[in-house]
A and B are shown apart, each in its own frame.
Chain A
């Protein structure tokens, strides 16, 4: 380990040592704690974003309702989109990245534990910064994709909050992506070759490369937007020579890879869940991995299908129509692989399995309506209607959120040491499934009948059937609310119960289940040596002559317990640190400084930032290594 012993230093750079109590949450660098913090925070934002959605649905239950004013409606649907994408699905995925990546690759922590803490705090402050706009005069109101010139020319600072808030969240994502890429490439257990990696790890790797290259593009667009808003430049102002279409190109060059950033983690989770409950290895592992990587590459070549209605011309439209249809091929490969994984398996319909199957079905529907958008004349008809809203909710709710929910039920015992109640879980699933389809299925029809998106009233002239379908949608959204309440009740009940989960409750396949429950701070007493894909499964089962799996007589997996203690004393995990918190706390202050052109706020932020940087650099590696 570290070269000699480091004496506890008396300076301000002393590292905190507490790993228990509330203070430890502020300074922790343990990837498992950070993962939980990501999860809790994202879930809190999920409730807020869901509440906004319910208000939107109540407003739309009648053609000319007045639950919300036009202005508040604009803020709610914009913040609903921003929240669900940047503050819920992405950080939920990050929660799983944090918790699972080191465990699944047999590592003790991520490559840069303090950077990991930094990315969490930057995410939290970015989210709080965005929501503080409600207090200081109005939240972003120009749609989650902030189309210029609407976003740049309106008065008020609403969209300035959007520009700076997303910038902070982007910094958080960029830091996380560098960290996870390094961790996955460089910290795999001995023998864990790339083609033995769990599919979830592969999808995480693809996602983090997408983040690495997509975040700087949106960063540039957001800088330009902020300059337009705050300094009155004319990047996107047609009146002074700017080109609003530039915003769309930069935004969607980020935004389309972003779609895969949102869906690939869920695909990874489902690829872990389906084999476990089908009692079969994943069908076509290599095909699933390469399809995932192909989606990662191809995701960069389809952005202009969001812009068919802009008028880029027939050549561009045709090229992007083709590339968009092609990206359905690797996606289809994955869907067939999931189906073939279940085919002929001994399926156990547990709650995580139900969510995973729901994912496959709902995501397929969302994917198919996606292919419809690739057909340019179709798109011209559907764009800016509720048909599009239905499509992306089938992908992001029916896809990403179903996968994440399945992942929560599946990994809950590893995360919190307790099993969620299966009966409540199934009630949750069925309410969620029915509510989801009632809420978003009818939007296809309402959209084709002409209901425009982003408007707070749709007028009687669309006809009473549109209104009726909207009422069904609103009913569905309320059923989803009930299902979420069931989930919270389930989590609370589990929290109160004393029943500790077994180490391997699902008879699972991958390395994280090798660890005891709850997982000790150092994860593994002995770093496992990997000889197979699905290593943990092969430690439990051997093949008989007929090729069937038979349990290995007791012993093999208990070897690790035998070695317990032998190495434990030599493991020194990195000490907690204050500086990630200090450093990231500078970001929102700089943000306020920019928006309000206040030197004082900016200087406060800059001082915090620099203090954090130097504190980080100067604090000792460890406090009192034995």
Chain B
């Protein structure tokens, strides 16, 4: 039962108001993790610290994640046009780029652990893995939503006129991207600079 926009007090669909509210709350969630990281970024306990970061490698996977916002926009606009084939294609492309990013993170995490920086090595490592790990979990949830969306359009459970669903997943996806820009800058780039 989609609520037509003109029936609501704000003229917006309920789901859109709700997703904006939820994403507002997510900013505080990552804000608290980023603050904790800033507090601990030098507390390495004689373990390895920021020198482990491979900036070129992470830049590439960050670039892939940022580009996935472009395909997400394309997916949404295809859905608005009712072009479900193209929409599915762009959704899957977005999910694929998300998976590349997660693959990069898995590779990065294993490398760090091999080089002596595990979750419990130091306050720095704990704060780093908690922050980037929770971001990775958010991306993973986003990938699950994208794959489900693609599957549901195939089964005709998400109809061409229900582009608000794509829009909402898109808003979530863009949020995850924006947060990554902040995390990448604060965690990787500033200490390296």
Contact = CB atoms under 8 A, between A and B. Distances in A.
Interface string A172-185: 00100111011001
Given A216-B28, A240-B122, 7 more contacts: A177-B25, A187-B14, A231-B119, A241-B43, A250-B36, A614-B148, A617-B148
Interface of A: 1-2, 111-112, 174, 177-179, 181-182, 185-188, 192, 212-217, 219-221, 223-224, 227, 231-235, 240-243, 246, 250, 253, 574, 614, 617-618, 621-622
The 6 closest A-B pairs by CB, nearest first: A216-B29, A220-B32, A233-B126, A216-B28, A111-B14, A241-B43
B9 A243 contact: no
B45 interface: yes
A125 to B, nearest CB: 21
A181 B32 contact: no
Contacts of A188: 9
Contacts of B24: 212-213
B29 A220 contact: yes
Q: Is the interface of B mostly helix, strand, loop or mixed?
A: helix
Interface in B113-129: 119-120, 122-123, 126-127
Nearest to A621: B1
A574 B1 contact: yes
Given A181-B21, A217-B32, A233-B126, A186 B9 contact: yes
Given A216-B28, A220-B32, A182 B17 contact: yes
Contacts of A192: 9
- Which of A112, A177, A224 has the most CB atoms of chain B within a 10 A radius of its CB? A224
Interface string B125-154: 011001000100000000000001000100
A186 B17 contact: yes
Contacts of A618: 157
A220 B33 contact: yes
Interface residues of B, number: 34
A160 B1 CA distance: 41
A2 B22 CA distance: 26
A231 B21 contact: no
A177 B17 CA distance: 12
A253 B28 CA distance: 11
Contact of B32 (A2, A240, A243, A250): A250
A60 to B, nearest CB: 37
A235 B32 contact: no
15 contacts: A178-B22, A212-B21, A216-B25, A216-B31, A216-B32, A217-B28, A217-B31, A220-B32, A221-B32, A234-B45, A240-B122, A242-B123, A250-B32, A253-B32, A574-B1
Contacts of B14: 111-112, 182, 186-187
Contacts of A617: 148, 152
B26 interface: yes
Contacts of A242: 40, 43, 123
A250 B130 CA distance: 15
Contact of B130 (A212, A216, A217, A224): A224
B122 A241 contact: yes
A234 B120 contact: yes
Nearest to A618: B157
Contacts of B17: 111, 181-182, 185-186
B70 interface: no
Interface in B10-28: 10, 12, 14, 17-18, 21-22, 24-26, 28
A217 B43 CA distance: 22
B10 A185 contact: yes
Contact of B29 (A177, A186, A219, A227): A219
A453 to B, nearest CB: 28
B39 interface: yes
Nearest to A218: B32
Nearest to A235: B126
